[in-house]
Chain A
Amino acid sequence: TQLLEQSPQFLSIQEGENLTVYCNSSSVFSSLQWYRQEPGEGPVLLVTVVTGGEVKKLKRLTFQFGDARKDSSLHITAAQPGDTGLYLCAGLRRGNTDKLIFGTGTRLQVFP
C-alpha cells in the first residue's frame, strides 16, 4: 500500500514554463519534506513543512502543506534545465516509531 501518491509521475517541459507537482495521502502527517534526487545520488532535502496551510518559498520553488496535513504541492516558476531531477515528497507519521514514508516520485525533465 502506497501511502503517498505523487502526480504526475513524469513531466517533460520547456525552459521557462511553470509546473506543479502534487503529493496526496489519506493519512495525516506531522510534517512533510520535499527532496530532489539526481541520477546516482542520494536525495537532497529542499524543504520541510510542518503547519497545516503553511507556504514556504525557496527562490522559484513554492511549497504548500494542505490544511489537513494530508497533502502538499510543489510549484516551480520559470523552470530551468537545472531543475531536472526526481522530486520526492516524504511524510513523517508520529507513532511508536518515527519514520519517513516516501512518495512515488515525479521525474521532471526541463529542456532548454
Chain B
Amino acid sequence: QSVLTQPPSVSGAPGQRVTISCTGSSSNIGAHFDVHWYQQFPGAAPKLLIYANTNRPSGVPDRFSASKSGTSASLAITGLQAEDEAVYYCQSYDSSLSNSGVFGGGTKLTVL
C-alpha cells in the first residue's frame, strides 16, 4: 500500500483533458510538503514532469499542469496526445516517516 493514493488508470481521447489525483494525509501533502510528479514510459527511467507542486522543468509542454490543495494534489493534461501515454507518479514527503520521500502507486494513462 502506497502512502499516497493514485487511481490505477485513467484514459482519454486525443485532444481531451484528463486529471490524475494524488491523495495523501495530514502527515504528508497536508503538512505542506511539496509534491512532485514524474512520467515514465515503458522500459525507461522516470522523468521529472512537475516539481514543487506547480512548476514545469524546461522542455515540459504547458499542456501539463498541477495543483495542490489540502491533503491532495492533482496533475492535469490538456490537449491529450498519443505520446502522453505513460505511467505518472506523484511524490512527496511524510513526517511520520522521518520526513522521508514517499511515492504514489502510479497511474497508467491510456490515450484512446
Q: Does B bind A?
A: no
